[in-house]
Structure 1
Amino acid sequence: MKKKLYVLRHCKTLFNEKNIVSGQTDCPLLEYSVNYSILSKESQLESYILISSPLNRCVLTGKILQTQSGLQISSSTDSRIIERNMGILEGKKRCELFKEYPDYFFNGHFKGYMTPPMGESFDEFKFRITSFSHSIEKMLLKNNIIICSHNQALRMLTAIIKDKQFEDIPKYPNGLVQKLL
């Protein structure tokens, strides 16, 4: 019997607060709380494997989840679920980027299918996340899994698993565990 798959976007960061594109650039957390109420509804006897992006904001969020929930959660990291490389856009405020690179944005959001200047292409990004999704399929036969990653990485993972378009997957809120399967 297949187990459950949950996703968790890292807790809110300084870059989230200041509306700065982070990509693979790490930044400090501003919030240190995870809403894991969906896990609380499950049996306390359940165990979980947490697979996290190796960026500090995700690793720290995973530790917060482990501490706050008191659930049996073993953890590891996987570099394939690191956030998309946003090239020279990283570390810059979105409002400045809208002016400097207007063709890359629509309604205040980066056009996902575009390749950021000196960044990772959509196809490279999708390939990396697809590779990860194949790995967890086997693990789900025996384990409940929680993926702690980044907005774009979680949206791409969701699109792949649910066979939907990346653009149709909404933004993930920070610090909230959600059931995917």
Structure 2
Amino acid sequence: MIFKCFSLLIITQILVATAKPINPGFDDPQQKALEKEAKEETVNLLNSLFRSQIAYFTEVNSNLNPRTKRAADIRLYITRLNQAIAENELDKKDKMWLDIFEEFKGSPLLLNREEETGLTDMQYKILLTGKKLQAISAGFVSDVADYFWKMAKISGKVVENHFEGKNRLTNP
């Protein structure tokens, strides 16, 4: 489950690219509307990712001694995620996500170090795989599936718009 979560994070980074302009300089209002819709959907997905992580790590943190290093790391991580949610521009949000990833790559939030968590390996494993945490992860997987569906529909509209535009140019 933990590896699925991180795999989804990487996939999300790839998905951000799908909201980039398909044909820059192409001045078609419908095309621009579709690009805007794709960006909005990507922002929604990123916010869903951030909220899922906030919910997940809030649950983990609630079971840690608040004075441990891991609890402090998680609180800071949650603060950074909330800041990313507050950003509305896709490129800035994406940069913030990359910055958060860089900032916390040295802090093994999902790995147990007893001196940082105050828990044994088994206790931490049980904490990370609880039913509530599985439900949070499943909810995010559902959000990703919805995103793929919406982006497929938008892509279909882009292709349709492209061919309609070509037909208007060749058959006036």
* TM-score, length of structure 1 as denominator length: 0.29
Which structure has greater helix proportion?
Answer: 2
Return the TM-score normalized by structure 2. 0.30
Higher relative contact order (CA 8 A, sep 6+): 1
